[in-house]
Structure formats: C-alpha cells, structure tokens
Chains A and B, each alone.
Chain A
C-alpha cells in the first residue's frame, strides 16, 4: 500500500511503526491480519464514498493489459498472465452488469508498443472471446505506459462529451520504456478529462502513482489474488466525474419485445445478419427499433440502421443504486438489544455474534451476513422497503 504523497521528504515525516499493524496468530500466520486490513479498507471505501457528487454513469473504459516479460512470473497461479485474464473475464461480465449502457475496449502492451484487441463497444461476447484468445499469446518485450496512454486517449477522443472517459492499466512490470516525457502525456490526457487508474501486480512504482494523482485515478498494488479481485470489483462502480463533463439529453429508444403473438411475420435480425449460420437470428421473436423497425435479439444495442441507442427500462434501473446509494448500517453490540427481539429482521436468525447492524432509517436490526448481502448485492434495505413512506 502506497502512502499518500506528503509535501516533505520521507525522512522528515513521523517515525512509523508499520510492523505493529501485522500480528501473528497462534499458528504463526499473518493471514488474519492481512484479511482484517483488506476488510477495513473495504469498509472505509463504503463509508468514504462521497454522496451528492456527480458520477460518470455512461462510461467508456479502455482496459490495457500488460503482456511484457514480467507477466510470465509465477507469483500468481498459474502465472500472472493467465490469472489476470481469468479475473478480467469475470470483470467484463460484472462491468456490463453494473453499467449496462457503457462501452469497453481492450488493449495490450507488448514489445514496447500498444496494440488494440477490441474496439470500444458494448458487446460482451466479443470481449470475452478476445480475452480467451489472449491466453495463447506469448508475453514478451517491455511495457510502454506512454504508448498505451496515447493510443487509449486517441480512441477516447471521439467519445461524446457527456460520457466519462477512463483508462485502466494492469501493470505487471516494474519499469516502462517510453519514447518521450511521460508526464507530458499525463498532462495531455488530463486536459481531455480522461481518468487513468493503474493496478500494479509487482511493487509500487513512483511514475504510476504520479500519473494516477495527476488524472485523479486510483493506484493500487495487489497483495494476493483475492485482493486483485476486490480491486477489479471496485473499478466496476462508477467513479466521480472528472473535470467538467457536459450533461446532455441522450435520445434513446425503448423497443417492445414482440413474441409470436405479435406481428406474425418472420424476419432476419440485424445482429446476426453477417453470421455464416443462417438459422441464427431468423424468426418472429425480437426487439423492434421504434424508429426504423429493424429487429435485434438482445438489448442494449445501438441500431446500425438509424443510430438510435436501444435500451430497456431495467437496464437504466440497474444504475440507480449508484446514484442513490444505501447508507451503511451502524454497528451496535448485541447485548444492548432487548432479549426477545434478538432476531435478524430479514432472515429471522438468532443474533449470536457480538455485533449487530442497525439501519439508521427504519431502526431494524440485521445480522452480519444480511448486512454484507444487503450492501454488496441487494442495495435495498428490507426494513425501509417494508415501511410505508408518507406520500409527498
């Protein structure tokens, strides 16, 4: 974990006894301490999330994967490259699940150059098949952060002003081989309102920290594979908007899902029109674009005929929990609760732990499992949902 940049020199700062944070348990393992540190960081993240800050909901994210020699290292099982690709496949799914109207692009850093694997787009299958094809690619050469940042920012230049522009770099090596001054590139992308975050796999590198600081991104170095997963999951939530992003009204279509009871005529859908298998996509079911009536199998999609973005109402609803986040529950000791009421409100489990969690709005008490479930997956307090709010 990298310390915050301080104005003075490190030897002028206070004497830090960082070894006291880690404590061995009876078996001599440090795992419990490490877990506790990761848990505390998670809870701090939940509490620290700024409310009433404009978020970039429509995101355009370029993921840059390091494919240099350092990724052949076996400190992650089976080696860094394969472990990263496996986690990224889950990340892509989770990203489109949390941000259905966003777009993702994949790039790699290899042989001091940056190559584009997939263009910025919203089709999950395309990204996952490309990630699968990267498993067989050989990692060689050195990584070049500047080339990666320049290529990604060039592709992000054409993105409309209301969308957020982000770069996420998975950086496994300890050095970067650049043609020019990387800090100028960092300033250039900052002026384009691009936010660059880096996840380091090896150790903390000063230049990465500087870039992230400049562009208001996040720099983290992983401790182990589960921490890596946590950091990637953190990236799926929309970050606060950088700079002055324009707000605009985007014209979107909400197509109806027609089944066999509808129009009654079979037609070819536009998403499979180029596929070699002619049986795919031909039928009566599908979503019809309200502007030009072309058929699509799945949403969300951008209509290739008339350019209208097609979404369904649940897709937009998926992002609402980012905009109206659930407040964290207060931790109270179980002994304070009156004995007959020592039950978790939502699962009726007897509260045997030392701590219980109380919602500030409805004052119902929950067990620790329900607290984690409600905040990480459900985003809705059952107590508040059961309470009738007075009509305004």
Chain B
C-alpha cells in the first residue's frame, strides 16, 4: 500500500563550519571525516530529501564562529539580471543531472567557498554561533509559512550537524529558540559528531526530535539517511534512537554547579545553591528566616 503524506516538508540543515574543529579532524591519523567529504555527504542527503516529495523544500545555513550565512537558497535580488553567457554556462554544466539537484550542489559548493575565503578575521574560536543560525532558521520557516499559497500545511524540521563544543553564553538565546520552535511545531534534530551538547539534548527532548551522537564518523551518510531523513509521520512507524536521560537540572549562578534543590530569587529568578542575603543579579535583599522556633529552656528543679 503506497504511503501518501499530505504535507510537504521543509528541512533546514544548520551545519557547523567551525574551522578549528574541522582542522583538527584533518590532523587526526585515520581521517574519518574531512570537511569536503562532509559537504559531499550532506549534498547527497539534501538531494534525497528533495526526492522524497516533489513539494519538499530545503534550506542550508552555515554556523560559523563569527557569522552565520545562508548557503541555500541563494538570495537573488529581483532587479539583478544574470547575463546570458553565465546562464548558458550554468545549464551546460548540469550534464544530465536533475536540474534542482545540480542547482543545490553548485550553490552550496560556491557559497561554502565564499564563506571560507571571506573569513579574514584571524581570530580562532572553538565554538560557533549556533543559536543565531537557529534563530535565522526559525525566521525563514515563518517566511515560508507566510508565502504558502492555498494555506497548505507543511511540517518543518531543523537538523543541526555539530562538532564543536557548546558555549554557556548562548544559553539564553538557545532557550528562546527552543520555545519558539515548540510554538511553531518545528522539530529540532541533532546529529552530533564529537562532543555531547546538553543544550541540544534539551532542545530535541522538548520538540520531540532525535538526538544522536554518531558512533562512527565514516558512516555519517548512512546515519543521516536512516535516522534523520524520515519526516515526523513516518518516524512513528520506525524504531529510532530514543533519548537518553536528559538533565534538566539548573546550574546555580554562584558556582555553576548543577543543583537538585535550589533557592530562587522571586524578583529575577536567579538560582542559588545556598541561602545568600543579597541577590547578585538584581540586588534584592532577603530576610533571614529561621524556621526552627528557639526552644525555651526549662529549668529543672
């Protein structure tokens, strides 16, 4: 029985292009996964997604340490007209491949080259601006929703491919992204290449996505196709990796330790592990309340 889904699907891939982490991959002895291989495997995955349904849409965003960039679709200014020569050149390059796939491959390759060559800052950072890239993805989903003719419903999901580590300074923005995704019914999936990320674990749990740390980097494409390609309706019928125990405990503001029972300031909601007389964030003072009554000393005669 042919399965026909009534919804088209919008997939947004957020790719971590941190040059520090990818550079470290190159220097590893067995070279499981290099950046060029990753881009090629990603292109196969994106083309597979477009093949699943004719109405499926795709968007790829690169999360770089200093900025975020849309790799696909390439924004074309309405009043810019391409010269005839370049148009013909573009068509002859496709050599029989389905035009849309050729366009995706070519655009992403060009934009990645552009991104890397334009990064002349010289600063090295071990993380990337993931929360910014995910915010842009959510705005894009909002735009596609507004542009939909016939008010056809579509499901949207964001796949994050990440290798570098988290940075705690992005916590607040990340939580906003998670709540917005929940409101928009967007699923956030995470494909983790190296270091575990508790923020993405929480995101996947809250939005019913899949969180997977790839055991073997050389098999990236297989994991992408088997685990992350099916959309929400088909996922219910498949056996996919389940979520690990998610740590929802909060970190106290004074020591950054995870607390089981903490004290929360009623004004600014900062969390402390033990009683402090003054809140460091909002400078509210707290009365010291001793719940135990002072026992009256009975003099025995």
- A residues near B, CB below 8 A? 54-55, 57-58, 162-163, 245-259, 261-262, 290-291, 308, 312-314, 316-321, 323-324, 339-340, 342-350, 352, 369-370, 373-374, 377-389, 391
Q: How far is the CA of A54 from the CA of B267 in the complex (A)?
A: 7
Chain B residues positioned under 8 Å from A384 (CB to CB):
132
Flag whether B131 is at the interface (Cβ < 8 A).
Answer: yes
Known: A57-B266, A349-B143. A256 touches B206 (CB 8 A): no
**Could you tell me if A346 and B261 are in contact, using CB atoms closer than 8 angstroms?**
no
Residues of A within 8 A of B70 (CB): 348
Contact B267 A247 (CB under 8 A): yes
Name the A residues within 8 Å of B264 (CB-CB).
249-252, 316
Q: Which of B28-36, B99-107, B152-160, B170-178 contacts A (4 or more CB under 8 A)?
A: B170-178
Q: Is the CB of A262 within 8 A of B245?
A: yes
B139 near A313 with CB under 8 A, answer: no
A347 and B129 contacting across the interface, CB-CB below 8 Å: no
Besides A261-B245, A383-B132, 16 more A-B contacts (Cβ < 8 Å) are: A58-B266, A248-B266, A248-B287, A251-B262, A252-B263, A314-B175, A314-B206, A317-B172, A339-B79, A350-B77, A382-B132, A384-B132, A385-B132, A386-B68, A386-B135, A388-B65
Closest chain-A Cβ to B211's Cβ sits at a distance in Å of 13
B279 within 8 A of A: yes
Contact, CB under 8 Å: A246 / B129: no
Given contacts A256-B247, A261-B245, A378-B138, contact A247 B261 (CB under 8 A): no
Contact of B143 among A246, A318, A319, A369 (CB under 8 A): A369
Say yes or no: A308 contacts B261, CB within 8 Å.
yes
The closest CB in chain B to the CB of A391 belongs to B169
Which of B135, B169, B246 makes the CB contact (< 8 A) with A346? B135
> Which of A245, A262, A348 counts the most B-chain CB atoms under 10 A from its CB?
A348
B120 to chain A, nearest CB (A): 15
Jot down 5 A-B pairs with beta carbons below 8 A, ordered by A: A290-B260, A320-B175, A347-B143, A369-B146, A386-B132
B77 contact set on A, CB distance < 8 A: 339-340, 342-343, 350
Find out whether the CB atom of A387 lies under 8 angstroms from the CB atom of B132: yes
CA distance A27 to B272 in the complex (A): 61
Interface range on chain B (Cβ under 8 Å from partner): 35 or more
**In the complex the two chains form, is B178's CB within 8 Å of A259's CB?**
no
Residue of B nearest to A373 (CB): B142
Q: Are A257 and B246 in contact (CB under 8 A)?
A: yes
Q: Which of A246, A250, A352 is the one whose CB lies under 8 Å from B287? A: A246
List 7 A-B pairs, minimum CB-CB distance, nearest first. Answer: A386-B132, A346-B139, A385-B132, A247-B284, A382-B135, A162-B266, A313-B250
The secondary structure that dominates the B interface is mixed
Name B138's closest neighbour in chain A (CB-CB).
Answer: A378
The proximity string for B residues 259-293 relative to A, scoring 1 for CB distances below 8 Å and 0 otherwise, is: 11111111111011001100100101111010000
Whether B75 pairs with A382 at a CB distance below 8 angstroms is no
Of all chain A residues, which has the CB nearest B206?
A: A314
Residues of B within 8 A of A380 (CB): 131, 135, 172-173, 176-177, 180
The answer to whether A320 and B266 touch (CB under 8 A), given A252-B261, A388-B66, is: no
Q: How far is the CA of A98 from the CA of B68 in the complex (A)?
A: 29
- Residue of B173, B177, B259, B282 with most partner-chain A CB within 10 A: B173
Nearest-neighbor residue (CB-CB) of A347 within chain B: B143
Residue of A nearest to B66 (CB): A388
Q: Are A247 and B75 in touch, CB under 8 angstroms?
A: no
Chain A residue numbers with a CB within 8 Å of B140 are 346-348
A253-B260, A254-B249, A317-B172 as given contacts; A378 in contact with B129, CB under 8 Å: no
> How many angstroms from the CA of A323 to the CA of B132 in the assembled complex?
20
Known: A259-B245, A261-B245, A350-B75. Contact between A253 and B178, CB under 8 A?
A: no
Residue of A nearest to B143 (CB): A347
Which of B131, B138, B139, B262 is the one whose CB lies under 8 Å from A254? Answer: B262
Q: Mark B73-93, 1 if CB is under 8 A from A, else 0.
A: 101011100000000000000
Say whether B170 contacts A385, CB under 8 Å: yes
Known contacts A253-B261, A388-B125; is-contact A382 B136 (Cβ 8 Å): yes
Is B265 a contact partner of A249 (Cβ separation < 8 A)?
A: yes
Chain A neighbourhood of B135, CB < 8 A: 346, 378, 380-382, 385-386
Q: Which of B122-152 contact A (CB under 8 A)?
A: 125, 129, 131-133, 135-136, 138-140, 142-143, 146
A370–B177 CA distance with the chains assembled, in angstroms? 14
CA distance A348 to B61 in the complex (A): 11
Let me know if B139 and A370 touch, CB within 8 A. yes
A250 vs B35: C-alpha distance when bound (angstroms): 49
In the complex the two chains form, what is the Cα distance from A246 to B265 in whole Å? 11
The docked-state distance in angstroms from the alpha carbon of A320 to that of B178 is 13
CB-nearest residue of chain B relative to A326?
B176
**A339 to B77 Cα, complex, angstroms:** 9
Q: B289 CB to closest chain A CB, in angstroms?
A: 8
Complex interface: chain B residues within 8 A of A314 (CB): 175, 178-179, 202, 206, 248
Q: A343-B75, A377-B183, A388-B65 are in contact. Are A249 and B125 (CB under 8 A)?
A: no
Tell whether, in the assembled complex, residue B248 and residue A249 are in contact, meaning their CB atoms are under 8 Å apart.
no
When chains A and B are docked, how far (Å) is the Cα of A252 from the Cα of B139?
Answer: 35
Given A254-B248, A290-B261, do A382 and B139 touch, yes or no (CB 8 Å)? yes
Least distance between A240 CB and chain B CB atoms (Å) = 12
Report chain A residues within 8 Å CB of B178. 314
Residues of B near A374 (CB, < 8 A) are 139
A34 to B78, CA, bound (A): 34
Query: For residues 45 through 73 of chain B, which have their beta carbon under 8 Å from a beta carbon of chain A?
Result: 65-68, 70, 73
Q: How far is the CB of B294 from chain A (nearest CB, A)?
A: 21
Could you say which of A249, A386, A389 contacts B275, with CB atoms under 8 Å apart? A249
- Is A249 touching B175 in the complex (CB atoms < 8 A)? no
A348-B75, A380-B135, A385-B170 known; A247 vs B142 contact (CB < 8 Å):
no
- Decide: B267 and A370 in contact? CB cutoff 8 A: no
Q: A257-B248, A317-B175, A373-B139 are in contact. Are A248 and B262 (CB under 8 A)?
A: no
Q: Name which residue of chain B comes closest to A254, CB basis.
A: B249
Docked CA distance A342–B250 (Å): 42
A319 & B129 in contact (Cβ 8 Å cutoff) = no
Q: Are A258 and B248 in contact (CB under 8 A)?
A: no
Residues of chain B within 8 A (CB-CB) of A253 are: 260-262
How many Å lie between the Cα of A253 and that of B172 in the bound state?
21
